[in-house]
Structure 1
Amino acid sequence: MQNESYTLTNILSALKIDALNEMQLASIEANKQADNVVLLSATGSGKTLGFLLPVLDLLDINNPTTQALIVVPSRELALQIEQVFKSMGTGFKVTCCYGGHLRETEENNLIEAPAVIIGTPGRLCDHLRRENIKPDGIHTLVLDEFDKSLELGFQEELAFILHSLKSLKKRILTSATDAVEIPEFVGLTEPVELNFITEDTSKALAIQYLESDGKDKLDTLFRLICMLGNRSTIVFCNHREAVERTNNLLKENGLVSVFYHGAMEQQERDAALGKFRNGSSNILVTTDLAARGLDIPHIRYIIHYHLPNTEDTFTHRNGRTARMDASGTAILIIGPEEKLPAYVSEEATPITLPDEIELPEKPKWTTFFISAGKKDKVNKVDIVGFLTNKGQLKKEEIGLIEVKDFFSFVAIRKSKASTTLQLVQNEKIKNKKVKIDIAK
């Protein structure tokens, strides 16, 4: 690494990691030997660190230009990678570029060129055309989840980005599947392929199916969730409209659920994922947008409300559970005119619902929205101090806190929510008056 102020030991310590895994070590070694590396590894196996460490090796602290570009298919994945990079504590400036929020904010961040830019294809193309991103110094390109970018129809944008990078020397491509052909415009010559996708990754995953009498399956889904109890569950639908309809009907029947899809505003997305992460809702109804890049631990059940269109989609949906050493269960709901896809029939076991069902216990947390974030110099410690002091909460009554650029979400014990809300109204955090409310 060309900056002696940090070491691998320091980085691992900052990330609270004891040691690199086999895939990460192999990636570092391969990237030392080759200019083109394709890294195939299962979701949740640590791919982000597997490419960030080799990228870091190529950064020069004395170079004031942008040196590396990381292209990802979704804003959530971009923000996740940015968070990991910042947590490494290297001193290099990094910024994120993605649709759904003000371009002007990004333009300000790009005035002083970041060493590393992470972004989605459309927004990166926009900045390149406006010359907000100066591509001349970029020597390293990472296409993370490149198969998903191609699947989502970003070929034209990716081709434009590649064409703009005249000084490119290094290409790193990552994926959780080996099913996709890499287009010629990527310019891979004699790539080294590291394939860590093994058959063993599914051992911790149980696959089950449930036959539904009703064509729309909603009653079956409701009864299934009641049977599963108050466990972390993702319900996958194939369309945005179905996501909202399904979520609304679950709520009307007394379940606590949130929904998530690509047409939502960024703050709405953040709120939904925040509530799911912090336990304010144990049910997330979503499209395949959530099948990649979302790092939410301890998801117990994946329900395929709509059957996945491809085996690849099935694999990625299921990759949200049974991560690392945890176990999980994927359940397919089969309608009267449907049959189990051929690629799952051998391993799936049937389940039946009990005659009597009861609503699972409601979550014990609720989520507060606070209209202040990183850009207001507010951090988690400030929020804990504010809620214990002004809100008279004990530490154990405060759950997961997520601080975004301009707002924050914090989990509060539901039993304390209304009292706390009254106490903190019109109070200030760091001498700034903030809006605090139950997150919508």
Structure 2
Amino acid sequence: MDQIKKYIDNLGISSLNAMQEEVNAQFDSARDFILLSPTGSGKTLAFSILLLKLLKNYPKTIGSALILVPTRELALQIESVIKKMDNTISMVCLYGGNNSKLEKNKIKEGPQVIVATPGRLIYHLEREPGLLQHTHTLVLDEFDKSLELGFYDQISYIIHACRDIKHKILTSATDVTDKPEFVKLNNPIKLDFLEKTALIPNLNYFRVNSSTKLKLEQLFKLICKIGAERILVFCNHREATEHVSSLLESKGIDSIPYHGGLDQYFRELAITKIKNGSQLILITTDLASRGLDIPDMNHVIHYQFPYKQEDFIHRNGRSGRNQQEGNVYSVIAEGDRCPEYYEHVEELELDEFYPLPPLPAYQTIRFTAGKKQKINKIDIVGFIFSLGTYQKSDVGMVEVKAFDSYVAVNRSIAREIVKLGNNAKIKGQKVRLSLI
């Protein structure tokens, strides 16, 4: 338990929840493991505890453990959680849209843990057939979503490329009754928390009725009523996210569209800015319904209902995470398809004047230096404080990537920092700063 206390301290949480405690207690390394638990209940931490426990039983080799996920967002979240839990674990995150050359270089370093989406992993397997020959632990996270997205043949190919798997862990937010034959589970332990009340998000549901012509106006008023808090607005199509974001901007509300058609750089930048508080509103497709764990994201708006109730549940799972209270709203115009499960939800009247929300407290500054230049968070924070008499609270989240870094700073001093620090040197490395 001393090791687990270290993990939770590193993550900045006080304790494991009931599901995570039971996963740890019930795990038997001689048997495979199935965990069914609702979206937002902490499955990543639960299986990561098991994975780190198993890694200690084997020599350190390339690809000792493989975590297979359906989306790049989920891959990045898992990588972040495990690195926080134990920064001595070497990892590589492989996903479409990432720089394949950087991934190849990282693989050459012999990472113990590979987190990957199926297609990108196969890309590397075709060039490095022995990549998974030492894999002893396989985690299939969000397995239901992987099958839904049609990764059946790809997962089968990958499992057959793993020559000596001894442990399999499957997680899912729904019960997959017909598991493909190629998974071949060994006398699995199955823990089902799907109906456990304590793990179901604490959500309040509201409906906002509207005429067809005033639907966007009602969305605008709803956002103004909520105020300066993080909000996810879900649409069904890429074009709708761009359209809604553009129209909100014309009304004075800044937001970021987020969908699969965007370049990977802009997708990652959008999440960085939402997480660090320099942006508060994400207009998104179902791309954001899984794999995103954004602190204090307690408002989800369905501008358009998803086609399946299961997707509705996953969207809502972005709110009310870690036992926080969340709010779910739907803007429903005349003639909109309103599912039966939402017909009797409390109506929210928007009959007052609501001022525009204030701008976020932070802005993001991009530094043109990162890990490849041996720059770390302490270097960047120290550099900022060397520019003037700033307070600790003036600097928010710092994210250091391979070739650049992103820092949230107090909006009132952001331009000053860029002006003072642009073209200066950090560790002898000349850096450019820009507001983004």
Question: Shorter-normalised TM-score: what interval?
Answer: over 0.9
- Sort the Cα spacing of 1:375 and 1:44 in 2 relative to 1 into closer, same or farther, 3 A: farther
CA–CA separation in structure 1 for the residues paired with 2:423 and 2:177: 54
Query: Shift of the alpha carbon at 1:62?
Result: 2.9
The residue that corresponds to 1:48 in the other structure is 44
Does residue 74 (structure 1) correspond to residue 71 (structure 2)? The answer is yes
The residue that corresponds to 1:108 in the other structure is 105
Which SS does the other structure have where 2:307 is aligned? Answer: coil
| Cα pair 1:110 1:133 within 8 Å, conserved | no
The residue that corresponds to 2:169 in the other structure is 172
The residue that corresponds to 1:186 in the other structure is 183
Normalised by the length of structure 1, the TM-score is 0.92
Equivalent positions of 1:31-430 (< 5 A) are 31-32=27-28, 34-59=30-55, 60=57, 62-89=59-86, 91-131=88-128, 134-178=131-175, 181-198=178-195, 200=197, 201-202=199-200, 204-214=202-212, 217-346=215-344, 348-390=345-387, 392-430=389-427
- Sort the Cα spacing of 1:26 and 1:199 in 2 relative to 1 into closer, same or farther, 3 A: closer
The one-letter code sitting in structure 1 at the alignment partner of 2:234 is F
1:219-270: CA deviation from partner (whole Å, max 9, x where unpaired): 2211221222222110001111111111111111100211211222222122
CA–CA separation in structure 2 for the residues paired with 1:180 and 1:74: 22
Query: Shift of the alpha carbon at 1:19?
Result: 3.7
The one-letter code sitting in structure 2 at the alignment partner of 1:304 is H
Does residue 23 (structure 1) correspond to residue 31 (structure 2)? The answer is no
Query: Shift of the alpha carbon at 1:93?
Result: 2.0
CA–CA separation in structure 1 for the residues paired with 2:194 and 2:225: 33
| Cα pair 2:67 2:141 within 8 Å, conserved | yes
- Sort the Cα spacing of 1:430 and 1:247 in 2 relative to 1 into closer, same or farther, 3 A: same
The one-letter code sitting in structure 1 at the alignment partner of 2:43 is K
CA–CA separation in structure 1 for the residues paired with 2:78 and 2:434: 29
| Cα pair 1:215 1:337 within 8 Å, conserved | no
Which SS does the other structure have where 2:110 is aligned? Answer: coil
- Sort the Cα spacing of 1:112 and 1:356 in 2 relative to 1 into closer, same or farther, 3 A: closer
Query: Shift of the alpha carbon at 1:61?
Result: 5.3
1:87-137: CA deviation from partner (whole Å, max 9, x where unpaired): 233633221111112211111111242221111111111111111652221
CA–CA separation in structure 2 for the residues paired with 1:177 and 1:353: 35
Does residue 11 (structure 1) correspond to residue 15 (structure 2)? The answer is no
Query: Shift of the alpha carbon at 1:181?
Result: 4.0
- Sort the Cα spacing of 1:20 and 1:429 in 2 relative to 1 into closer, same or farther, 3 A: same
In structure 2, runs of 5+ residues without a counterpart are: none
CA–CA separation in structure 2 for the residues paired with 1:364 and 1:57: 40
CA–CA separation in structure 1 for the residues paired with 2:176 and 2:394: 46
- Sort the Cα spacing of 1:215 and 1:164 in 2 relative to 1 into closer, same or farther, 3 A: farther
1:181-203: CA deviation from partner (whole Å, max 9, x where unpaired): 43232223543221112352456
| Cα pair 1:237 1:286 within 8 Å, conserved | yes
- Sort the Cα spacing of 1:11 and 1:227 in 2 relative to 1 into closer, same or farther, 3 A: closer
| Cα pair 1:110 1:132 within 8 Å, conserved | no
| Cα pair 2:38 2:200 within 8 Å, conserved | no
Deviates more, 1:89-98 or 1:232-241: 89-98
CA–CA separation in structure 2 for the residues paired with 1:65 and 1:416: 45
CA–CA separation in structure 1 for the residues paired with 2:411 and 2:174: 41
Identical-residue share of aligned pairs (%) = 44
Which SS does the other structure have where 1:137 is aligned? Answer: coil
In structure 1, runs of 5+ residues without a counterpart are: none
Query: Shift of the alpha carbon at 1:33?
Result: 5.5
- Sort the Cα spacing of 1:33 and 1:387 in 2 relative to 1 into closer, same or farther, 3 A: closer
Which SS does the other structure have where 1:296 is aligned? Answer: coil
- Superposed CA RMSD: 2.2
- Sort the Cα spacing of 1:14 and 1:282 in 2 relative to 1 into closer, same or farther, 3 A: closer
Query: Shift of the alpha carbon at 1:18?
Result: 4.2
CA–CA separation in structure 2 for the residues paired with 1:317 and 1:273: 16
Which SS does the other structure have where 1:269 is aligned? Answer: helix
Query: Shift of the alpha carbon at 1:206?
Result: 0.6
Normalised by the length of structure 2, the TM-score is 0.93
CA–CA separation in structure 1 for the residues paired with 2:312 and 2:266: 26
The one-letter code sitting in structure 1 at the alignment partner of 2:253 is L
CA–CA separation in structure 2 for the residues paired with 1:104 and 1:132: 17
Which SS does the other structure have where 1:400 is aligned? Answer: strand
- Sort the Cα spacing of 1:73 and 1:417 in 2 relative to 1 into closer, same or farther, 3 A: same
Deviates more, 1:288-297 or 1:260-269: 260-269
Query: Shift of the alpha carbon at 1:157?
Result: 1.5
| Cα pair 1:282 1:363 within 8 Å, conserved | yes
Which SS does the other structure have where 2:27 is aligned? Answer: helix
| Cα pair 2:398 2:406 within 8 Å, conserved | yes
- Sort the Cα spacing of 1:64 and 1:357 in 2 relative to 1 into closer, same or farther, 3 A: closer
CA–CA separation in structure 2 for the residues paired with 1:339 and 1:176: 25
